[in-house]
Chains A and B, each alone.
Chain A
Amino acid sequence: ETVRLRFHTFYGTEIDPIADKFKDAVKEASDGSLRIQYFRGGELVASDQFADAVSKGTLDIVHGHGGYWSGQVDIGNIEAGLPGAWTSVEEAKAIFESEEVNSLLTEAYEEAGTVFLGKGYGHNYDLLTKEPVTSLEDLKTRKIRATSNVAKVLDYFGIPTVYLPAQELYISMSTGVIDGAIYGGPVEYEQLKLNETAKHYTYLNMLMPGWTETFLANPAKWEKLSDEHKAILEEAIAQFADDIHNWLAEGNENVAEGTFEYATLPEADSAELTVAAQTVWQEEAERSPRNKAFIDALVANAKAQGRLK
């Protein structure tokens, strides 16, 4: 009897080779008794409806990030990555692998009718602009495409943000509807060919990795799997997540010379951003006792690292 699982990621075709490796790994390790039916971003369910779709059994496993379902699952925004929350993959991993945070996630996703399977770690998440940026002050007269958490922090400095779907980024940037975007790292910007319209990449030093990813399963489907199949899946998913992270890291490292002109936000400005981010942290903490506990853990970590007093 072959078990087929509908697996939906939010990535598009860019990680196809990694996805093929993942599908093959599952098939081989299970001698063909477990198969992955893989769907790319937007193919079956819009990414912002993943949590709903996996809880109802439309999908069996989803690979998204907390920002997509933050309106439904309280900790979504926090676990996706708040500005200033962590500065390296090791730090982020330590936080998510801690007993406390792990149990918060398990509990929150169980309440949302899903099974929390594990995490993946993104990479650079910075600002791309048409004109060079040397300070936060520069940004006040520009229109930047940014989403919720980052948008709130920018708003704190009076920097106007707009929301646009990714498919409109290229034209909006080239015609000047927007002056810049915070969407990903060099490799993502190159994928969208944004380097043809905007060359200035500014490290914000706000959050690294700039986002984390989450894998969720449908409880009924997951319970029906044999222990062997569960183990195979968990291992393959962990490898898949690692492969994506490494692909991002290498991609960002190896973007051809001259594709972008890199700059870094002055340290004072980055520090100010982190301070401003505290209002966002507190706003998130107020949403629920569970969020409060998560934020407390982040604050404790930031203090231990010496970033917060």
Chain B
Amino acid sequence: MKPVTRYLVLQDGLSDFVGRAISWLSLALIGVLMLEIVARYFLNAPTIWAHEASTMIYGAFCLLAGAYTLRYRGHVRSEVLYGIMGPRGNAFCDTVVFSIGLVVLLVFLKLSIEFAADSWAVREYSNKSIWQPPLYPIKTVIPIAVGLVILQNIAELLRAVLTLFGIAYDDPREGELESEVDPVLLDALKK
């Protein structure tokens, strides 16, 4: 395997791994809220933490999912013009978008690191309910998620640049179909 391909396999693999790991948070979300409902209506003992905890799980889950979505080309885009441009035209557009995107994401990373550091510095806590959990862990999720998206953004940029300059490479994502309806779902339904 050539170094470029090896890098792409590695980077796609990282985003994939993170996505698979955090996908469990969706079950955790259901669990926490069901627990609260049972505690409140059947045991008459509402928790003080379920609402804020589920909000935090939601925030971490969805933000961290960004890199996984990018790896599977799941971020909504308008393909009205893009779709008729051809591979080189697409590569040109992607190069422009993902290089400006990289700069903007680096700014985002710097700001979010400061945001989290400020929270750590004062050991910030939440004041919404009597639970008063610390806020610095959830605020630390922001720079991590942005960092993961930056890494995947670099892989997208590299793919676009290589295609633009006509440099041949093996894309590990080659065989993946781009369809509006998930092929897995189609198979499952047709059975």
Give the residues from 127 to 151 in chain A that come closer than 8 angstroms, CB to CB, to chain B.
Answer: 143, 147-148, 151
Closest Cβ neighbor of B128 among chain A residues? A163
Segment with Cβ contacts to A, from B19-27, B118-126, B182-190: B118-126
Category for how many chain B residues contact A: 10 to 19
Question: Contacts A52-B118, A71-B135, A72-B122 known; A160 to B128 CB distance under 8 Å?
Answer: no
Interface assignment of B179: CB less than 8 Å from any CB of chain A: no
A151 contacts across to B, CB distance below 8 A: 129-130
Q: What 0/1 readout, one digit per residue, does chain B (104-117) give for beta carbons within 8 Å of chain A? A: 00000000000100
Across-interface contacts of A44 in B (CB, < 8 A): none
Q: A162-B46, A162-B51, A163-B51 are in contact. Are A148 and B122 (CB under 8 A)?
A: no
Q: Is B5 an interface residue (CB 8 A)?
A: no
Residues of B contacting A163 with CB < 8 Å?
51-52, 128-129
Contact A161 B129 (CB under 8 A): yes
The number of residue pairs between A and B whose CB atoms lie closer than 8 Å in the complex comes to 42
Contacts of A9 in B (CB 8 A): none
Q: Are B46 and A152 in contact (CB under 8 A)?
A: no
B51, B119, B127, B129: most-surrounded residue (chain A CB, <10 A): B127
Say yes or no for A209: interface residue by CB 8 A criterion.
Answer: no
Interface status of A77 (Cβ within 8 A of chain B): yes
A77-B127 in contact given A52-B118, A160-B46 (Cβ < 8 Å): yes
Nearest CB of chain B from residue A280's CB, rounded to whole Å: 10
Q: Is the pair B130, A70 in contact by a Cβ cutoff of 8 Å?
A: no
Q: B130–A67 contact, CB under 8 A?
A: no
State A256–B163 Cα separation when bound (angstroms): 72
A72 to B115, CA, bound (A): 12
Q: Which of chain B's residues have a CB closer than 8 A to the CB of A71?
A: 122, 124-127, 135
User: Which residue in B46, B118, B124, B130 is a CB contact (below 8 Å) of A148?
Assistant: B130
Name the B residues within 8 Å of A152 (CB-CB). Answer: 130
Question: A155 contacts the other chain (Cβ, under 8 Å)?
Answer: yes
Contacts of B129 in A (CB 8 A): 147-148, 151, 161-163
- CB contacts (< 8 Å) of A76 on chain B: these are 127
Q: Are A148 and B51 interface neighbours, CB within 8 A?
A: no
Chain B residues within an 8 Å CB radius of A48? 127
CB < 8 Å neighbour of B127 from A52, A143, A148, A155: A148
Q: B46 contacts A70, CB within 8 Å? A: no
Where the two chains meet, the residues of A that have a C-beta atom closer than 8 Å to any C-beta of B are: 48, 52, 67-68, 70-73, 76-77, 143, 147-148, 151-152, 155, 160-163
Q: In the complex, given contacts A70-B127, A72-B119, A160-B46, what are 6 additional A-B residue pairs having Cβ atoms less than 8 angstroms apart? A: A71-B135, A72-B118, A72-B124, A148-B129, A161-B129, A163-B51
| The 8 nearest A-B residue pairs measured at CB | A163-B129, A71-B124, A71-B125, A148-B127, A70-B127, A151-B130, A163-B128, A152-B130
